Amino acid sequence: MQSQRLGNAEARVVKELISVVSDPTILKLISSCPMAGVFRDGLLEGKTAFVTGGGTGIGLGMAKRFAEHGAKVMLTGRRKEVLENARAEIEAAGGIAGTAPLDVRDYAAQESALKRTRDEFGSIDIVLAAAAGNFPAPVLGMSANGFKAVIDIDLLGTFNTMRAAHQFLRKPGASLLAVSAAHATSPIPFQSHVCAAKAAIEILMKTIALEWSAEGIRANCITPGPTADTEGMRRLAPTPELENDVKSTAPLHRFGTRDELADLALYLCTDAAAYITGATFFCDGGTSLLKSGTLMGEVWKNHLNSRSSRD
């Protein structure tokens, strides 16, 4: 290869550029830029996404990222007003979104929302099952109906979403995602219902990955750790002390962000992930490496013990 020498003027420009980008203020600005900046723009242009649990938390974070990259997004959830606010946020940022208030346990409602999504936005390229239920309670502190409520929202809900979506998917090319949790592989006290549901969701998604692979459909799971600004954390770490306990137990000593999870979801829906199916990806700051039950279980046990000793 022939080397080229810079002329004086060009060398001056390069020197100036180097001095600008090494300025501490500029470096700080660059490092504070949202992670979305690492992806090429418009990665999901012309695509359609269907998101359960899309009105808040992790589901909304991922839906926003899909919309930022050009996908038309259908948001579903139980609360109409919450969905409308989410839709307004996406539209204010220049995205295209629709809403479908429904309960994921209702198969017919999901099927009709999926059909409407296909009719209004085109064949569905991305399905994200992010709807989830949770309350902390020991096995002896929940009724059979309490256990069933979470199994039905998480597991049956994910089955309903994927099963009903199949007929409206783009084939080949569709990417299916389900939100799992460390609960799938670690028994966590006070979370038996979520542990059972998330373990089942992972094996369900792997089975779907096998059954639908011949049609060019991929199915993967994402495992978040403790994530800031989510209903889950508001419920599971509702006091500053519990929040600090969770953070100090986590290997990276902080909560994850919805943006970090959204970037992983975006990646899994691009061609860069075309050979990835039946996999579970952790975006949890290393919390899955902890001893079984260390995280939420110990935190809650301490919390409940200190509460009962105060009572």
Ranges within 56-115 binding ligand COA (CB under 6 A): none
Q: How far is the CB of 105 from ligand COA (least distance, A)?
A: 8
Quote the CA–CA distance of 104 and 243 in Å, as a whole number: 30
Residue 172, preceding bond cis, omega within 30 degrees? yes
Q: What is the nearest approach in angstroms of ligand COA to the Cβ of residue 233?
A: 8
**Which lies closer to ligand COA via its Cβ, residue 242 or residue 273?**
242
Stretch that binds ligand COA, among 37-45, 118-126, 146-154, 218-226 (CB under 6 A): 146-154
Residues contacting residue 128 through CB under 8 Å, at least 6 positions apart:
49, 50, 51, 52, 54, 59, 62, 63, 177, 178, 179, 265
Pick out residues in 149-168 that bind ligand COA (CB under 6 A): 149-150
Q: Which stretch binds ligand COA (CB under 6 A): 6-14, 119-127, 229-237, 257-265?
A: 229-237
Q: Does 253 bind ligand COA (CB under 6 A)?
A: no
Q: How far is the CB of 296 from ligand COA (least distance, A)?
A: 11
Residue with tokens 């995280």: 295
The residue from 36, 82, 109, 137 that contacts ligand COA (CB under 6 A) is 137
CB 37 within 8 A of CB 60: no
Q: What is the dihedral of CA 304, 134, 151, 291, to 10 degrees?
A: -60
Identify which of residues 44 and 264 has a Cβ nearer to ligand COA in the complex.
Answer: 264
Contact pick of 89, 231, 259, 298 for ligand COA (by CB under 6 A): 231
Q: How far is the CB of 184 from ligand COA (least distance, A)?
A: 13
The only residue of 48, 110, 134, 220 in contact with ligand COA, by rule CB under 6 A: 134
Euclidean distance between CA atoms 277 and 253, whole angstroms: 30
What CA–CA distance (Å, rounded) separates 66 from 260? 13
Number of residues interacting with ligand COA: please give it, by CB under 6 A: 15
Exposed / middle / buried, residue 31 (Cβ in 10 Å: 0-12, 13-18, 19+): exposed
Structure tokens given for 54: 């899309």
Interface residue list for ligand COA (CB under 6 A): 132-135, 137, 141-143, 145-146, 149-150, 231-232, 235
